[in-house]
């Protein structure tokens, strides 16, 4: 059967490819610089697993309902975690957001629109 042959070929190719990847290119743990070690807004195990949910929850509250002042917010992450050298959470694998997202191979979409550097607020008045 032709389709059967194709299936086997595909399976073999996938197996070969993945074994090569595992054997020869171990992905190094990211050497992320933590600029302000200490307390995060939530325990590490919580923030590591759920930061995307927490941020998504907050973004809808802020954008759609105009609610400000929450503890968990993207600009909060950036203020605390931006590199002291470059002022950004992006730029290299040492930078906070980029380093970890590159390691886990998850596309980081926030900074297509959000400013990844801290200290860029132009608006007058105190931040909420």
Partner 1 sequence: MSDHTRRKFLGAAGLTGLAGSGLAALAPGVHLISLAAAHANGASSKVRWGMLVDTTRCASGCNACVTACATENAIQPGTGRPAQSSQWIRKIELNEFKTGRALSLPMMCQHCEQPPCVDVCPTGASFKRADGIVLVDRHICIGCRYCMMACPYKARSFVHEPLTEQNPEVPRGKGCVESCTLCVQRIDKGQQPACVEACTKNGRSAMLFGDLNDPASEIAKRIATTPTSQVRADLRLNPGVRYQGI
Q: Where does this chain bind partner 1 (CB under 8 A)?
A: 39, 41-43, 46, 50, 53-54, 56-57, 59-61, 63-72, 75, 78, 112-115, 117-118, 120-128
Task: Specify the residue, 26 or 43, whose C-beta has the smaller distance to partner 1.
Answer: 43
Task: Specify the residue, 1 or 63, whose C-beta has the smaller distance to partner 1.
Answer: 63
- Three-point CA angle 113, 115, 119, nearest 5°: 165
Helix (H, G, I), strand (E, B) or coil at 117: strand
Minimum CB–partner distance for residue 4 and partner 1 (Å): 40
| Cβ-based neighbour number of residue 99 at 10 Å | 19
Minimum CB–partner distance for residue 99 and partner 1 (Å): 19
Task: Specify the residue, 56 or 85, whose C-beta has the smaller distance to partner 1.
Answer: 56
Minimum CB–partner distance for residue 73 and partner 1 (Å): 11
Q: What are the CA-CA distances from residue 62 to residues 17, 67, 69, 73, 127 (Å)?
A: 45, 5, 9, 9, 14
Q: Which two tokens stand for residue 107?
A: 């596309």
Minimum CB–partner distance for residue 11 and partner 1 (Å): 35
Task: Specify the residue, 75 or 93, whose C-beta has the smaller distance to partner 1.
Answer: 75
Compute the distance between CA of residue 108 and CA of residue 101 in angstroms, rounded to an integer.
Answer: 7
């Amino acid at each position: 059967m032709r389709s059967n042959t194709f299936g086997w070929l595909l399976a073999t190719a996938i197996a070969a490819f993945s074994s090569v990847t595992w054997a020869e290119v171990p992905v190094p743990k990211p050497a992320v610089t933590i600029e302000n070690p200490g307390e995060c807004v939530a325990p590490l195990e919580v923030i590591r697993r759920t930061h995307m949910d927490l941020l998504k929850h907050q973004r809808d509250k802020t954008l759609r309902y105009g609610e400000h002042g929450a503890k968990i917010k993207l600009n909060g992450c950036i203020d605390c975690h931006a590199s002291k050298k470059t002022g950004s959470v992006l730029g290299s694998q040492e930078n906070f957001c980029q380093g970890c997202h590159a390691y886990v191979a998850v596309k980081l979409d926030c900074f297509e629109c959000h400013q990844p550097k801290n200290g860029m607020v132009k608006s007058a008045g105190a931040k909420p």
